[in-house]
Chain A
Amino acid sequence: MWRFLRRLLTSEYLVLLLTALYVLCLWPFAPEIVSAQTALEVIMAMLPLLLLAIGQTFVLIVAGIDLSITSTMAFSSVVAAALMTGDGGYLAGNALAVPVALIAFLLIGLAVGCANGLCVVRLGMPSFMVTLVAQTFLSGAAIWFTSLHSTSVSIGDLPAAFSVIGRGGIAGIPYALLLCLVVAFAAHWLLGRTTLGRWLYAVGNNPRAATVSGVPTGRVIIIAFVLSGFCAALASIVYTSRLETGTPVLGQRVLLDVIGAAVIGGVSLFGGRGKISWVILGVLFLSVVDKGLQLLGLSQSIVFAVKGGVILLAAIIDALRSRILVRVAA
């Protein structure tokens, strides 16, 4: 029995199993959970979350954490929206408005990631503190920035060429899905098949041994944060174009989902362990949980609390898993 539990806990498919179990449990109470419509909605809800989780995975692998991703999204969202909004934007009506705005999204993401990474590496500040400060600063900056450009709490009237990113597609496949697939494949390839991937794991596993073996440890950590910022920017593009508004509260509540999804998938908070396929399963699990709670008609605040519980559960599983792995190895 113990051995079975142990195998289950360390299995890569534990999360998939949990997802199926959850759906089965909910089926009698909310039959619509098993339907094509629900599946589609879950997938669409998953996409930006997956982008964020992939970015977070790089940082978690080097034993850091990035709490600034939601604020990075919010800030890039309002700045880019202010550039292209038809309602008095800097580039309103200009043909280049949308490309410039897209570049703005990405530049902000890269810059925030770079700043986080530099603070962690060059100044020796703990990553959770650095990114927590970045979170408050950027969300404050996003609100302040919005107040300069709009009398309401968000910046709307975005060009149609932009909103099509979130809503349109080729041959029935949404652009967002394509983007996600490309990013997921690229990340998978980067982690598994390149020198950088090996270095990321090595730094997370044992930074001292990595340094002695000639790994440019500091640069690798900075790159991890930059990748996280970049992914946050991509997610921001998807969310903003779906909402057709730039808003300073964008994605305020998904931070925990992202970290939770990564940890549930099996990415270790202590660094050195994680795979993109695990993260996809983790995101799927959380999205299904979310959908299920909605279908049951629970209030937002309860969903909020339940998610906190799920994170705690994930952390417990992570701790158990590490212990078992150590024991099995020994």
Chain B
Amino acid sequence: MSSARDSAASERAGGAPLLKVEGLRKSFFGVEVLKGVSFTLEAGKALGVIGENGSGKSTTMNIINGLLPPSAGTMAIDGRPYAPANSKEAARAGIAFIHQELNLFENLSIAENLALQAFPRRISWLPQIDKARMRARAADLLRRVDLDLSPDMLVNRLAPGERQLVEIAKALSGDARIIVFDEPTTSLTSREAERLFALVAQLKARGLGVIYISHILEDVLRLCDDVVTLRDGTMVDNRPAASVTTGHLIESMLGRPIAELFPPRSAAAPRQEVALDVRGLTQPGIVHDLTFRVMRGEIVGIAGLMGSGRSETARILFGLDPALSGTVAVNGTVIAQRSPRACMAAGMAFLTEDRRGDGLLLPEGVLTNVELARLADLRTNAAAPLPQAMLDRDASEAARSVRIKAHDLVRQPVLSLSGGNQQKVVLAKWLLREPAVFILDEPTRGIDVGAKAEIYGLVRQLAERGTGVLVISSEVEELLGVCDRVLTMAHGEIVAEFTWPELDRAAILRAAMQRQEGAA
């Protein structure tokens, strides 16, 4: 094995880059999501990959990791063709992934997690784990990532930052030569993040190649040598980090002037009636003393990193998760026992972050999905007959108004619709109820730019009709484009508030990256 690495090294000296990706294409169900992506990664360098959600980043990475086969295109490591059939082959070729969702087994120890790919044995014919060797190797790897923990500790007792470092240690254990980081800092404290950056520099110095994916463009520019920008499955930019600014990167990510993507703001000032009034909402360990208002006709955004409590806030507001104290009022009436039903009765609507998991009945048709939330309003006995004709008429009307593209509203399962159309189905479901307050969590995740513009337009129309809208998003540009006001969350608190036209990307991000005092 070491001789193979030697020959690889000599070949590298011959000039072939560590990783070369050329013309990658990928289609799902006839829809092309990746339209020719090419880049190279040299040893000892870091490559930043940026792009909005749905731009093709994760598809590209899944192809490199062997989880998806490309429809076309080639990859090469050290000049030799590389076509992994699964993640195991990718690992064998020297590629290690640090995912946003960590892949650690909580019921196993650190040492076991590190050794899982190939447990060491003392006697080759006896499948007995050599625990002493496993422990020693784990201790060594933990030292390399500067983590002072016992290898025997169960993973479920580690803090998120510690888990991330264990994951990196795992990548190092497999003699990886290319390490891919996917949004690595979202759950880290600032001290942990600094430690991670130092580690990345170390890895580069040792001659490893690093691919770094992140939404925090400042970090990307600081760590990487080159930056690749993806948009709608196409690589739109690939240049040295030294030659660009965050402003450039944003422009190439969005790909068009902001004015085209987002609807014009209404001339009229937001009305003075309060649509949503939240006071002192607190749940230990999750959110702390959230107090804010949304006026009728106003669009308020919540910005924050993953793990800042933005989605948790939405779930608590809608009664899906409990809160220890605090009140939520819609149109001046406090909702007593918050549950989805009570919140809906008060006039709330909630488009969830996880469209497929929380939003849709995938095997059912469009109309059945659109009608579902309406059923709770029918003030009749659950066993009484449905006013089917009326329901269908209203639902088709709603489906038409959001322009859902489906060839059969009754029989075609929503499973087979595109992401944008699926999201419109969820929108139609809630629009049918004419909500007083509409909470949208990541309304445009995984949706192409065209559908995004349509959804922004719908949201603006809704606000103009007097609904108070709360938009939660990880895309700061989106919030800048649609919101009248932006609240920034960090560690479960609202830490800053910005009002249009004083919405400033850098200031929002800075606020979002605040660390909790004493947290580190």
Contact = CB atoms under 8 A, between A and B. Distances in A.
B382 A195 contact: yes
A295 interface: no
A195 B363 contact: no
Interface string B47-69: 00000000000000000000000
Contacts of B357: 206, 208-209
Contacts of A326: 415
Interface stretch (B234-242, B369-377, B480-488): B369-377
B363 A212 contact: no
Interface residues of B, number: 34
Contact of A209 (B29, B359, B376): B359
A201 B360 CA distance: 12
A212 B320 contact: yes
Given A205-B361, A206-B361, A329 B416 contact: yes
Contact of A195 (B344, B358, B359, B386): B386
A234 to B, nearest CB: 18
B421 to A, nearest CB: 14
A212 B350 contact: yes
Given A209-B358, A215-B376, A194 B384 contact: yes
A194 B386 contact: yes
A272 B363 contact: yes
A189 B383 CA distance: 9
Nearest to B391: A198
A211 B429 CA distance: 14
A202 B350 contact: no
Nearest to B373: A213
Contacts of A209: 357-361, 372
Interface string A195-238: 11011011001101111111110000000000000000000000
Nearest to B345: A214
Contacts of B320: 211-212
A194 B383 CA distance: 6
B352 A212 contact: yes
A329 B415 contact: yes
B373 A214 contact: yes
Give the residue among A189, A211, A212, A330 with the most B Cβ atoms within 10 A: A212
Contacts of B368: 198
Q: How large is the interface on A (under 10, 10 to 19, 20 to 34, 35 or more residues)?
A: 20 to 34
Contact of A194 (B340, B372, B382): B382
A199 B372 CA distance: 8
A3 interface: no
B380 interface: yes
B364 interface: yes
Q: With a 10 A CB-CB cut-off, give which of A196, A206, A208 has the most chain B CB atoms.
A: A206
A189 B385 CA distance: 8
Given A193-B388, A196-B383, A216 B318 contact: no
Contacts of B378: 195
A129 interface: no
A206 B360 contact: yes
A206 B415 CA distance: 13
Interface string B415-444: 110000000000001000000000000000
B362 interface: yes
Interface in B172-191: none
A102 B429 CA distance: 45
A198 B371 contact: yes
Contact of B364 (A189, A195, A201, A325): A201
A190 B340 contact: no
Interface string A303-329: 000000000000000000000011001
Given A205-B363, A325-B363, A330-B415, A210 B372 contact: yes
Given A214-B373, A215-B372, A330-B415, 5 more contacts: A194-B385, A195-B375, A198-B386, A212-B320, A330-B29
Listed from nearest, the 10 A-B pairs whose CB atoms lie closest are A214-B376, A196-B382, A213-B373, A205-B361, A214-B344, A213-B372, A195-B382, A329-B416, A329-B413, A329-B415
18 contacts: A193-B388, A195-B383, A199-B375, A199-B382, A201-B364, A206-B357, A206-B360, A208-B358, A209-B359, A209-B372, A212-B340, A212-B350, A213-B372, A213-B373, A213-B376, A214-B344, A215-B376, A329-B415
